[in-house]
Amino acid sequence: MKTNIILMGPPGAGKGTQAKLIIQEFNLPHISTGDMFREAMKNATPLGLKAKSYIDQGHLVPDDVTIGIVEERLAQDDCKGGFLLDGFPRTIPQAEALDKMMAKMHRKIDLVIDVETPKEELIRRISGRRVCKSCGAPYHVDTMKPKVDGVCDICGGPLMQRKDDNVEALEVRLNHYEHETKPLLDYYKEAGNLVTLDGSKGKDLLFVEVKELIRGER
Ligand code: AMP
Protein backbone atom coordinates (compact mmCIF):
# COMPACT_ATOMS: atom_id res chain seq x y z
CA MET A 1 0.00 0.00 0.00
CA LYS A 2 1.09 3.57 -0.72
CA THR A 3 1.16 5.61 2.46
CA ASN A 4 2.91 8.93 1.76
CA ILE A 5 0.41 10.48 -0.60
CA ILE A 6 -0.20 13.88 -2.20
CA LEU A 7 -3.58 14.87 -3.65
CA MET A 8 -3.35 17.62 -6.28
CA GLY A 9 -5.72 19.42 -8.62
CA PRO A 10 -7.38 22.81 -9.18
CA PRO A 11 -9.95 24.22 -6.73
CA GLY A 12 -13.22 22.36 -7.21
CA ALA A 13 -11.64 19.23 -8.73
CA GLY A 14 -12.97 17.14 -5.84
CA LYS A 15 -9.80 16.83 -3.73
CA GLY A 16 -11.61 17.50 -0.44
CA THR A 17 -14.31 14.92 -1.21
CA GLN A 18 -11.76 12.25 -2.22
CA ALA A 19 -9.64 13.11 0.83
CA LYS A 20 -12.56 12.41 3.19
CA LEU A 21 -13.17 9.03 1.48
CA ILE A 22 -9.45 8.13 1.54
CA ILE A 23 -8.93 8.86 5.23
CA GLN A 24 -12.01 6.79 6.15
CA GLU A 25 -10.93 3.82 4.03
CA PHE A 26 -7.19 3.85 4.76
CA ASN A 27 -7.03 5.50 8.16
CA LEU A 28 -4.40 8.06 7.17
CA PRO A 29 -4.10 11.51 8.79
CA HIS A 30 -5.55 14.20 6.50
CA ILE A 31 -3.20 17.16 6.20
CA SER A 32 -5.08 19.93 4.43
CA THR A 33 -3.26 23.25 4.55
CA GLY A 34 -6.52 24.99 3.57
CA ASP A 35 -8.31 23.41 6.58
CA MET A 36 -5.40 24.31 8.86
CA PHE A 37 -5.56 27.94 7.73
CA ARG A 38 -9.36 28.06 8.08
CA GLU A 39 -9.13 26.65 11.62
CA ALA A 40 -6.50 29.28 12.50
CA MET A 41 -8.71 32.03 11.02
CA LYS A 42 -11.72 30.78 12.99
CA ASN A 43 -9.69 30.99 16.20
CA ALA A 44 -8.10 34.32 15.18
CA THR A 45 -4.59 33.02 15.97
CA PRO A 46 -1.54 34.98 14.70
CA LEU A 47 -1.30 32.45 11.83
CA GLY A 48 -4.98 32.94 11.00
CA LEU A 49 -4.70 36.73 11.00
CA LYS A 50 -1.67 36.54 8.72
CA ALA A 51 -3.29 34.11 6.28
CA LYS A 52 -6.73 35.76 6.08
CA SER A 53 -5.92 38.62 3.70
CA TYR A 54 -4.32 36.22 1.20
CA ILE A 55 -7.00 33.54 1.41
CA ASP A 56 -10.05 35.82 1.18
CA GLN A 57 -8.75 37.23 -2.11
CA GLY A 58 -7.72 33.86 -3.50
CA HIS A 59 -3.97 34.43 -3.24
CA LEU A 60 -1.48 31.87 -1.98
CA VAL A 61 -0.21 32.22 1.58
CA PRO A 62 3.58 32.86 1.44
CA ASP A 63 5.75 29.76 1.16
CA ASP A 64 7.68 30.24 4.42
CA VAL A 65 4.46 30.35 6.46
CA THR A 66 2.92 27.36 4.67
CA ILE A 67 6.06 25.22 4.76
CA GLY A 68 6.44 25.92 8.49
CA ILE A 69 2.99 24.62 9.42
CA VAL A 70 3.39 21.48 7.30
CA GLU A 71 6.79 20.70 8.78
CA GLU A 72 5.36 20.95 12.29
CA ARG A 73 2.37 18.78 11.39
CA LEU A 74 4.42 16.04 9.69
CA ALA A 75 6.61 15.76 12.77
CA GLN A 76 3.62 14.64 14.86
CA ASP A 77 3.30 11.01 15.90
CA ASP A 78 0.17 10.20 13.89
CA CYS A 79 2.09 10.84 10.65
CA LYS A 80 4.65 8.12 11.35
CA GLY A 81 2.68 5.50 9.40
CA GLY A 82 1.89 7.79 6.47
CA PHE A 83 -0.24 10.80 5.56
CA LEU A 84 -2.48 12.31 2.94
CA LEU A 85 -1.37 15.79 1.89
CA ASP A 86 -4.26 17.77 0.39
CA GLY A 87 -3.50 21.21 -1.10
CA PHE A 88 0.22 21.04 -0.34
CA PRO A 89 2.61 21.48 -2.10
CA ARG A 90 1.25 24.20 -4.38
CA THR A 91 4.55 25.76 -5.53
CA ILE A 92 7.98 24.44 -6.57
CA PRO A 93 9.68 25.83 -3.40
CA GLN A 94 7.06 23.98 -1.31
CA ALA A 95 7.74 20.73 -3.20
CA GLU A 96 11.48 21.14 -2.69
CA ALA A 97 10.98 21.83 1.02
CA LEU A 98 8.79 18.73 1.27
CA ASP A 99 11.51 16.60 -0.34
CA LYS A 100 13.96 17.87 2.26
CA MET A 101 11.53 17.05 5.09
CA MET A 102 11.06 13.55 3.66
CA ALA A 103 14.81 13.00 3.32
CA LYS A 104 15.32 14.04 6.96
CA MET A 105 12.72 11.44 8.00
CA HIS A 106 14.23 8.79 5.68
CA ARG A 107 10.96 8.58 3.78
CA LYS A 108 9.70 9.49 0.36
CA ILE A 109 6.48 10.47 -1.38
CA ASP A 110 5.16 7.30 -2.99
CA LEU A 111 2.09 8.53 -4.85
CA VAL A 112 0.92 11.85 -6.30
CA ILE A 113 -2.71 11.82 -7.46
CA ASP A 114 -3.60 14.71 -9.75
CA VAL A 115 -7.35 15.20 -10.28
CA GLU A 116 -8.07 17.23 -13.43
CA THR A 117 -11.47 18.78 -14.22
CA PRO A 118 -12.52 21.21 -17.01
CA LYS A 119 -12.78 24.88 -16.02
CA GLU A 120 -16.57 25.22 -16.64
CA GLU A 121 -17.16 22.30 -14.28
CA LEU A 122 -14.85 23.83 -11.63
CA ILE A 123 -16.84 27.09 -11.74
CA ARG A 124 -20.14 25.21 -11.45
CA ARG A 125 -18.90 23.18 -8.50
CA ILE A 126 -17.30 26.06 -6.63
CA SER A 127 -20.28 28.37 -6.98
CA GLY A 128 -22.62 25.70 -5.54
CA ARG A 129 -20.21 24.41 -2.91
CA ARG A 130 -21.18 24.51 0.75
CA VAL A 131 -19.04 23.33 3.64
CA CYS A 132 -19.77 22.42 7.23
CA LYS A 133 -18.70 25.26 9.53
CA SER A 134 -17.74 22.76 12.25
CA CYS A 135 -16.03 19.82 10.52
CA GLY A 136 -15.38 21.14 6.98
CA ALA A 137 -17.26 18.32 5.19
CA PRO A 138 -18.06 19.37 1.60
CA TYR A 139 -21.56 19.55 0.01
CA HIS A 140 -23.08 20.95 -3.20
CA VAL A 141 -26.48 22.66 -3.56
CA ASP A 142 -27.43 20.43 -6.53
CA THR A 143 -25.21 17.36 -6.63
CA MET A 144 -24.25 16.59 -3.00
CA LYS A 145 -27.12 17.76 -0.84
CA PRO A 146 -27.20 17.03 2.89
CA LYS A 147 -30.09 14.93 4.23
CA VAL A 148 -31.47 17.96 6.09
CA ASP A 149 -31.20 21.33 4.36
CA GLY A 150 -28.32 23.42 5.75
CA VAL A 151 -27.19 20.77 8.25
CA CYS A 152 -24.07 18.58 8.07
CA ASP A 153 -24.83 14.82 7.82
CA ILE A 154 -21.66 13.96 9.70
CA CYS A 155 -21.60 16.27 12.73
CA GLY A 156 -24.87 18.27 12.63
CA GLY A 157 -22.97 21.56 12.15
CA PRO A 158 -24.36 24.42 10.03
CA LEU A 159 -23.44 24.59 6.33
CA MET A 160 -21.93 27.77 4.90
CA GLN A 161 -20.31 29.12 1.75
CA ARG A 162 -16.54 29.72 1.91
CA LYS A 163 -15.61 33.39 1.60
CA ASP A 164 -13.17 32.55 -1.23
CA ASP A 165 -15.80 30.54 -3.18
CA ASN A 166 -16.90 33.50 -5.33
CA VAL A 167 -16.21 34.16 -9.01
CA GLU A 168 -13.55 36.88 -8.43
CA ALA A 169 -11.49 34.89 -5.91
CA LEU A 170 -11.89 31.74 -8.02
CA GLU A 171 -10.36 33.46 -11.06
CA VAL A 172 -7.36 34.42 -8.90
CA ARG A 173 -7.09 30.87 -7.49
CA LEU A 174 -7.26 29.30 -10.96
CA ASN A 175 -4.58 31.69 -12.13
CA HIS A 176 -2.29 30.67 -9.25
CA TYR A 177 -3.02 27.02 -10.04
CA GLU A 178 -2.10 27.51 -13.70
CA HIS A 179 1.15 29.41 -13.07
CA GLU A 180 2.47 28.17 -9.73
CA THR A 181 0.98 24.75 -9.09
CA LYS A 182 0.81 23.19 -12.57
CA PRO A 183 4.61 23.19 -12.96
CA LEU A 184 4.59 20.66 -10.10
CA LEU A 185 3.05 18.11 -12.45
CA ASP A 186 6.31 17.97 -14.41
CA TYR A 187 8.28 17.93 -11.16
CA TYR A 188 6.45 14.79 -9.99
CA LYS A 189 6.28 13.25 -13.46
CA GLU A 190 10.05 13.32 -13.47
CA ALA A 191 10.11 11.77 -10.00
CA GLY A 192 7.97 8.96 -11.50
CA ASN A 193 5.08 8.90 -9.05
CA LEU A 194 2.43 11.07 -10.72
CA VAL A 195 -0.94 9.71 -11.83
CA THR A 196 -3.55 11.98 -13.45
CA LEU A 197 -7.24 11.09 -13.05
CA ASP A 198 -10.38 12.54 -14.63
CA GLY A 199 -12.25 14.45 -11.90
CA SER A 200 -15.36 15.00 -14.02
CA LYS A 201 -16.29 11.33 -13.55
CA GLY A 202 -18.14 11.74 -10.29
CA LYS A 203 -16.90 10.97 -6.81
CA ASP A 204 -17.74 7.26 -6.61
CA LEU A 205 -16.16 6.22 -9.91
CA LEU A 206 -13.15 8.38 -9.14
CA PHE A 207 -12.76 6.78 -5.73
CA VAL A 208 -12.65 3.29 -7.29
CA GLU A 209 -9.55 4.39 -9.22
CA VAL A 210 -8.06 6.18 -6.23
CA LYS A 211 -8.40 3.05 -4.07
CA GLU A 212 -6.69 0.90 -6.70
CA LEU A 213 -3.80 3.36 -6.88
CA ILE A 214 -3.33 3.49 -3.11
CA ARG A 215 -3.47 -0.30 -2.87
CA GLY A 216 -0.86 -0.50 -5.63
CA GLU A 217 -3.23 -2.47 -7.88
CA ARG A 218 -2.61 -0.25 -10.91
P1 AMP B 1 -7.94 25.00 -0.20
O2 AMP B 1 -8.87 24.69 0.91
O3 AMP B 1 -6.90 23.93 -0.43
O4 AMP B 1 -8.66 25.40 -1.46
O5 AMP B 1 -7.10 26.29 0.25
C6 AMP B 1 -7.75 27.51 0.53
C7 AMP B 1 -6.76 28.65 0.48
O8 AMP B 1 -5.74 28.47 1.47
C9 AMP B 1 -5.99 28.78 -0.84
O10 AMP B 1 -6.71 29.47 -1.84
C11 AMP B 1 -4.76 29.55 -0.37
O12 AMP B 1 -5.07 30.91 -0.15
C13 AMP B 1 -4.50 28.91 1.00
N14 AMP B 1 -3.60 27.74 0.87
C15 AMP B 1 -3.92 26.43 1.09
N16 AMP B 1 -2.86 25.63 0.86
C17 AMP B 1 -1.85 26.44 0.46
C18 AMP B 1 -0.52 26.21 0.05
N19 AMP B 1 0.00 24.97 -0.02
N20 AMP B 1 0.24 27.30 -0.29
C21 AMP B 1 -0.25 28.54 -0.22
N22 AMP B 1 -1.52 28.83 0.14
C23 AMP B 1 -2.32 27.79 0.48
Which string of DSSP letters, residue by residue, matches 138-164?
A: EEETTTB--SSTTB-TTT-PBEE--TT
Which string of DSSP letters, residue by residue, matches 14-32?
A: SHHHHHHHHHHHH---EEE
What are 77-112's pLDDT values in tens digits?
999 999 999 999 999 999 999 999 999 999 999 999
Average pLDDT for 53-80: 96
Q: Report the atom number in ligand 1 closest to the C-alpha of 88.
A: 19
What are 112-129's pLDDT values in tens digits?
999 999 999 999 999 999
147 catalytic per annotation:
no
Does the pLDDT of residue 213 top 90, yes or no? yes
Q: Are strands 194-198 and 111-116 parallel, antiparallel or unpaired?
A: parallel
Tell me how far the alpha carbon of residue 217 lies from the centroid of ligand 1, in angstroms.
31
Kind plus residue range of the DSSP H or E element containing 177: none
Query: What pLDDT score was predicted for residue 44?
Result: 96
Q: What is the pTM of this model?
A: 0.93
Query: What pLDDT score was predicted for residue 136?
Result: 87
Q: Pick the residue whose CA is nearest to atom 8 on ligand 1.
A: 34
